Amino acid sequence: MKLDINDIGLITGLSLFLGIWLGHVGVRKLEFNFANIKLLSMLFFLMGCILEWISITGEILEWKVIFGVIGVTLIWDALELFRQEKRVQRGHAPANPSNPRHQRILQQYSDASTLDPFKVDLIKPLTTVFNEKSDEGKDR
């Protein structure tokens, strides 16, 4: 018996996962280090548009999906850079003291901090991560 497999769904899923993952990590890293996120955001938007153009004009369905999905996530990331800046202002993400833009945020926003709230033992022990920590201890 020959199985007729349609790989479009799998490729969509993989591109989406890769797109979110890269965006997730990339946005945090770039926002942390770059002084000018407006320029960066425009580059993301432009790159997203180029990928969408390749997707629209392309012939092979698999590539159309890969470029289409990753292009849209790039356009989203262009916005996400500013959302990340807001998180830094609220102290939900760590500020980088050697980044001039973050230096200004640290001066203007009292909630902003160089501490990463997710590295929680710096602030207060959380029961949510307590079990995990004791598990990690066993591994070592």
Positions touching another protein (CB under 8 A) are 3-14, 16-17, 19-21, 24, 52, 55-58, 61, 63-73, 76, 92, 117-118, 120, 126-129, 131-132, 135-136
Say how far apart CA 34 and CA 115 lie, in whole Å. 18
Compare residues 36 and 118 and give the one whose CB is closer to another protein: 118
> Could you tell me the smallest distance in angstroms from the CB atom of residue 18 to another protein?
9
Q: Is the separation of the CB atoms in 128 and 134 below 8 Å?
A: no
> Could you tell me the smallest distance in angstroms from the CB atom of residue 11 to another protein?
7
> Could you tell me the smallest distance in angstroms from the CB atom of residue 4 to another protein?
7
Instruction: Burial-class residue 110 by CB neighbours within 10 Å (0-12, 13-18, 19+).
Output: exposed
Compare residues 98 and 110 and give the one whose CB is closer to another protein: 110
Q: Is the separation of the CB atoms in 15 and 65 below 8 Å?
A: yes
Compare residues 9 and 100 and give the one whose CB is closer to another protein: 9
- The CA-atom distances, in angstroms, between 139 and each of 36, 106, 130, 131 are 42, 38, 15, 13
Compare residues 65 and 106 and give the one whose CB is closer to another protein: 65
> Could you tell me the smallest distance in angstroms from the CB atom of residue 36 to another protein?
26
Q: Give me 129's structure tokens.
A: 């991560």
